[in-house]
A and B are shown apart, each in its own frame.
Chain A
Amino acid sequence: MSRALNPLLAVLVLVLFVVSLLVGPAHLGIMESLRGFMAGGSEATAIILRDIRLPRALLGLLTGASLGLSGAVLQGLLRNPLADPGLIGVSATASLGAVVVFYSGLAGLSTLLLPLGALLGGAVAVVILLAVAGRGNSTLTLILAGVALSSLAGALISLALNLSRNPFAAYEISFWLLGSLKDRSMAHVYMVAPLMLAGFGLMALAARALDALSLGEEAAHSLGVDLKRLRLLVIGGVALATGAATAVTGMIGFIGLVVPHLVRPFTRGLPSAVLLPSALGGAALLLAADSFTRLVTTNVELNVGVVTALIGAPFFFWLVFRTEGEAA
């Protein structure tokens, strides 16, 4: 089973990526859509596919992979299955950065100012976390710093909502925080893809050390793991991937927490073996959830962050009880 897992998931991602290209408010047939990519289709179809659906599908793929992989890496670092990419505070501060852009009214100037503001917000958190990781000797300190950053960013977002004199700004902020892949352009993809890929690279470098860490920090050290370097790799990688993901999509919850749990039973269990399936599984889940938001027709299109939380939370509940049953 563990050998077939990655190819199976890769095929699933590919299928869901194509599905994501095929669904949307403009009801295009499969052949018409395909022609839209080639030269033969009508100009409108080409525009819908290349400028609307392709960036959406690409961001679904990259964001889902970022969240799934980050969750798996953090669970490995903390040796705790409850770790979530939001834990280190980068997604909260990135959201704060975006909120500041909304609040100041700058969001109207360019659609790219929003993700830029979010990236800046995430970067502030990264600088603080790396400073903590660089001097501290404890993973716990690092996570507590992340929790503190999250709380502070959450409080400042609430403050912005509280003080907002323009109800539309408050509405826009709340709506953006729900997380969505709608109406993103290729410029968004070009902005965040390099950051996410760099994050994937850093996390891949941490894989082996995470395996050694299964036996605790002291045993990992005696297996040649430089714990400080490991923390820097993980914080840097998770921050790049989730910071960039939050910057373009807002808050999308539960993928980073749930996907590693979903795939772990199909692997032999070493943290390194969970990484690639988590990235693929995250991409598949987000692509599926995002296609779902476009398939169910309500007056307002559902935000994908709402859908992932609605699926994720009950599922997680079930997982917790199942795990408890096994432990007993």
Chain B
Amino acid sequence: MPLAAHAITVSLGQRTVLQDISFALAAGTVVGLLGPNGAGKSTLLRALAGLLPHAGTVMLAGAASAGLTAAERARRLAYLPQQRIISWPLPVADVVMLGRLPGRRLGARPSAQDHAQVDQAMAMLDLEGLRQRPATALSGGEQARVLMARAVAQATPVLLADEPAAGLDPAHQIHLMMVLRQLAGQGRCVLVSLHDLALAGRWCDRLLVLKDGALVADGAPAAVLTAATIRAAFGVEAAFTADGAVLAPVALAGRSA
């Protein structure tokens, strides 16, 4: 298993934000992390990335993450934060190349393999036309794709992405999910937090649902995205397609549509 979490508990001050979360992710799968605002999705991803002190253990390809150095962890796991920060007007290609830092020795120039990984990531995210543009001058959606390409170029067995689809137009949302499927096809394991239930149901192999810091559902989309689970976790009524997939949330639970 590329990533396994055992009894992850996170407390911030007196408040328990995540309670006893355990799961293991298989290689070659896209796993969606769902839950209402404040359920603990970002906290869970940050704990898995080693950014937050937590109880319980995170295993990366059989090694305890807590025992790895930051550099060793960076070769096994890439994490795309929700907050999109690009501090300097760097060319797009240079931002994506930052994803290759963990594999490079101090002072070394990017190798042919580094350039190949960057080119591949940029092609996947449809960025070739923007290669030399300053990333800070791009639209929000374009910046999101640039930062995603950075995480993809890191070429790690595990990719954690915190709401990468937020702020993307529908075409680029679908394109992004296709990229995640492609990564899974290369044998990588992707854990992605999402708010769009239809997108999650359509493109993920498996869904984890968090509510109030606890894991309330875990399974295949068809099993998780039922009217009852959606009502319990999100407090909304959803409309479904004829074959049972979520179409869209349409009303608050307990009120008529």
Contacts and interface: CB of A to CB of B under 8 A. Distances in A.
Contacts of B72: 224
Tier of interface size on chain A: 20 to 34
B51 interface: yes
B90 A214 contact: yes
A273 to B, nearest CB: 9
Nearest to B89: A269
Interface in A262-292: 264, 268-271
B70 interface: yes
Nearest to B71: A224
B89 A225 contact: no
A138 B91 CA distance: 28
A264 B51 CA distance: 31
A215 B74 CA distance: 15
Interface string A218-244: 110111111000000000000000000
A218 B79 contact: yes
Interface of B, secondary structure class, is mixed
Sorted from nearest, which 10 A-B pairs have the closest CB atoms? A224-B74, A216-B85, A222-B79, A224-B71, A79-B87, A224-B102, A218-B81, A269-B88, A214-B87, A226-B70
Interface string B63-102: 0000001111111011111010111111100110011011
Nearest to B154: A223
Interface string B38-62: 0000000010011100000000000
A269 B74 contact: no
A222 B90 contact: no
A212 B83 contact: no
B151 to A, nearest CB: 8
B101 A214 contact: no
B91 A268 contact: yes
A271 B49 CA distance: 25
Given A223-B99, A223-B102, A269-B94, A215 B87 contact: yes
Interface of B: 46, 49-51, 69-75, 77-81, 83, 85-91, 94-95, 98-99, 101-102, 106, 134, 147, 150-151, 154
B9 to A, nearest CB: 20
Interface of A: 79, 205, 208, 211-216, 218-219, 221-226, 264, 268-271
Nearest to A221: B51
A218 B46 contact: yes
Nearest to A215: B85
Contacts of B81: 216, 218-219, 222
Given A215-B147, A268-B94, A269-B94, A223 B101 contact: yes
Contacts of A213: 87
A222 B101 CA distance: 10
A16 B24 CA distance: 64
B76 to A, nearest CB: 10
Given A222-B151, A222-B154, A271-B88, 12 more contacts: A211-B98, A211-B101, A212-B101, A214-B86, A214-B95, A215-B85, A216-B83, A219-B150, A221-B51, A221-B79, A269-B89, A270-B88
Contacts of B49: 218, 221-222
Contacts of A212: 98, 101
A214 B88 contact: yes
A319 B71 CA distance: 38
A218 B74 contact: no
A318 B121 CA distance: 39
